[in-house]
Amino acid sequence: MKRRTLGIVFGITGIGSAVGALALALTPVTNEWGQECGSLLAPKGLNAFSDLTRFLEQAAFDSACPESWSPLLYGAAGLGGLFLILILLGAYYFFASPDEPLVAPKAQAGGAQLSEELARLQDLYNSGALTQEEYSSAKSKLLGS
């Protein structure tokens, strides 16, 4: 996979997490008494105080709604953080070195590696672990013939 492609994947995933955070922030919540609290982005409150009962109701509402919002708040904040990380990673991979592969192609075995591998094959053959045919076949594969 090329860096530019990986950058696009990170960017799209980041946008998806931003949409998830927005959905959580707009999710309507009710408190433990069944009162509508609204959402994180559009909170709903009780209206003006007319008497002591209404005042106590407002106090209960004000203390219960933030508690009801807290799981959504943590989820939305987490997804928002994930959005930032993914967008930054996407931008890095997209703009850093656009068309280089992520992993360099495996280099051909060098002279030292080839001689070590041939010596290992010779040792296996001398110890009797390989037959003459197996030894010849493995040797020809190493030498590319």
pLDDT at 127: 87
10-40 core/surface letters (b: 16 or more CB in 10 A; e: else): bbebbeebbebbbebbebebebeeebebbbb
Q: What is the pLDDT of residues 21-49, one digit of tens each?
A: 888 888 887 777 777 777 777 776 655 55
pTM of this structure: 0.50
Distance in angstroms (rounded) separating the CA atoms of residues 133 and 124: 13
Q: Answer with the residue of higher pLDDT: 122 or 73.
A: 122
Q: What is the pLDDT of residues 101-145, one digit of tens each?
A: 555 544 454 566 878 888 888 888 898 888 888 888 888 888 875
Distance in angstroms (rounded) separating the CA atoms of residues 82 and 67: 24
